[in-house]
Each structure stands twice: as C-alpha cells, then as structure tokens.
Amino acid sequence: MRLKVTFVLFLSILPLALANLRVGFYRRSCPNAESIVRAAVRRRLTRDKSITAALLRMHFHDCFVRGCDASILIDSNRKSSSEKDAGPNLTVRGFELIDEAKKALEATCPSKVSCADIITLATRDAVFLSGGPFYFVPTGRRDGLVSDPDEVNLPGPTLTVSEAVQAFRAKNMSMDDMVTLLGAHTVGVAHCSFFLDRITRPDPTMDRGLAAKLRSICGAASGSNPDPTAFLDQGTPFAVDNQFFKQIGLKRGVMKIDQELANDPLSRRIVSGFAANATLFRTRFAQAMVKMGNIQVLVGNAGEIRKNCRVFNPRRRI
C-alpha cells in the first residue's frame, strides 16, 4: 500500500517539474547523492527533532528571495554582508547539516551536487522522517552568485490572509499553496515577540487556555533567554501532520496569520478540508513543496556548483 501511495504522489507531482530539472538528475554523475543527504538528515534527527522545522524555514527563506539558489547559505565577510545578516534570517539555523552533507558529497563526487539541491533534498527527507509524505524531488538546480541582505523581504507573521496571498502570488504560488505551506507550522516554533500582543490583552480569536499557557511561557523570560519560544502546534509539535489545521480550527493558533487562516473566508474552507482529511493535506503538501522548490531556479550553465556552500567559488580570471 505504501508503494502505491508513493507512486500516486509521483504521478501528481511530476508535471510541476521545470523542463531543466528532473527526478534523478544525479543518477549518473553522483548515484548516491540522495542517499548521502538522507543519511546526514537521519543522523541529525536522532539528536535534534527540531531540525525539520529549521530546514523547512531555511528552504522557504531561500526560495522566496532570489529563488531556490542557496544564496541564504553564504557567510558574510569583511567586505560584504550576506542574506544571513538580514533580520528575518538571524534565527535561521541548520547550516551545519548542509555543510555535513556537502562535505560527504564532495568526497564522493566533487563539484557535482549543488547546495541548492542539498537544501531541497534535506528538507524533503526531514519531512518524510518526521512522519510526512515522501515525494520525488526534481533536481539539477545551480547555486546563485549573489547574496544581498537588502533583497530579503519575506512575508511575516503579522500579515493578513489577503496580504500573504499577494506575497505568494508574486512567486507564482496560489492561495491553496499558501495555506498548504503554512501547514509547515505543524513542526514550527515562534518567539514570544511575534505573538505577545495576542496574549497581553484579551483576544477573542484565541482559546483562553492556550493564552494562559503562552503567558506562562513568555513570562519565564530571563537574561539568558530573553525571548522564549512556543510550539505552533500544541498537539504533535515534531510530526508533519494535519494537527496544525485542527488546532487553529479550535482557536489554538499561536501567531496572528495562523489563526486568521481558520477565520478568513478566503482560506477557512481549505483549512477545514485539511483538518478533516490527513491524506489530502499530505498530498497537497508534497505538491506545494515541489512547486516552491521550482521558484526561479538556476539551471544549465547559470550560476555555479559551489565546493563550499558558505562561500562563492573563486572567480576564474579571463
């Protein structure tokens, strides 16, 4: 039965792949590429279940700036800042996992597998290993040559549903894609500073019990932890499932945008559908992840294949 479900997902996702990306791109040039990435993810998950949320966030923050080109991985230096220095990216993490996978790939097949593909594959594997769907990822992305913090303008947690839809449509993603991808909050966390206004005064859209729990969490702030975090899914915070949608249907959304998904007429039908049908969410989540992974990709001779994901390759002198 599992093979049958996987095959159906493959058939429904494959048409979304760009012409220059294809499933099994490294079949000849680096046959073990995907298994090497998956092994690195599996090792990390055994000691840190939160890495799934970290990779989902990294993938999103990468794709929504210059496209899925691994520009988020570049380190700043004395001469220039990178996307890592932008405010929304200061808490992005998981870079060392990408480094680990890249090091193993370079030892096996040097200069073949892009850092952009490593992010995409690692995210897919983390989703699957955390109980989510397995889906086939078209590969063949190239790494970008620019990483500019001034270009980082990501949709934030205080947006209305209409504003979030506009941000996603700018990347050729639909309303359905937007609601589906926000389902990644099923394994997410948020700092108190992102939702403090919802718990410091009465909010009729938030469950009273949840508000009291969040006030207790945020009230424990200290010098060593000035901005505590709370799970966005109070039910199964480390599992990729449809519990997030069930929670927001019960007024248990932590961030404003999460709860508005369940309240806004534009999105609540989709939310209700996912809350009632776990299989529907799994299928649509896989499709939306593949679609997001295709945003403004570099292929062919564009960009480069970095040897170190944190730095651009040395420029060749002509």
Find the catalytic residue in 61, 142, 198, 252.
61
Residue 297 and residue 141 in contact, taking contact as beta carbons nearer than 8 Å: yes
Q: Which two tokens stand for residue 220?
A: 């424990």
Domains plus CATH for the chain? 32-151 (1.10.520.10), 161-292 (1.10.420.10)
Separation CA 318–CA 308 (nearest Å): 22
Residue 65 among known ligand-binding residues:
yes
Q: What is the mean pLDDT of the chain?
A: 93
Q: What is the pLDDT of residues 208-239, one digit of tens each?
A: 999 999 999 999 989 999 999 999 999 999 99
Cβ contact 287:13 at 8 Å: yes
**What does the DSSP 8-state code read for residue 71?**
G
What pLDDT is attached to residue 20? 84
Q: Is 203 annotated as a binding residue?
A: no
Q: Which residues contact 221 (CB under 8 A, 6 or more apart)?
A: 192, 227, 228
The answer to whether 61 is a known catalytic residue is yes
- For residue 69, say whether it is annotated as part of any ligand binding site: yes
Q: Does residue 141 register a pLDDT over 70?
A: yes
271 known member of a binding site: no
pLDDT tens figures, 288-297: 999 999 999 9
Checking if the pLDDT of 263 tops 70, the result is yes
Alpha helices in the chain (DSSP H): 2-13, 33-45, 51-63, 95-108, 115-129, 161-169, 175-182, 196-199, 208-219, 243-248, 256-263, 268-276, 278-292
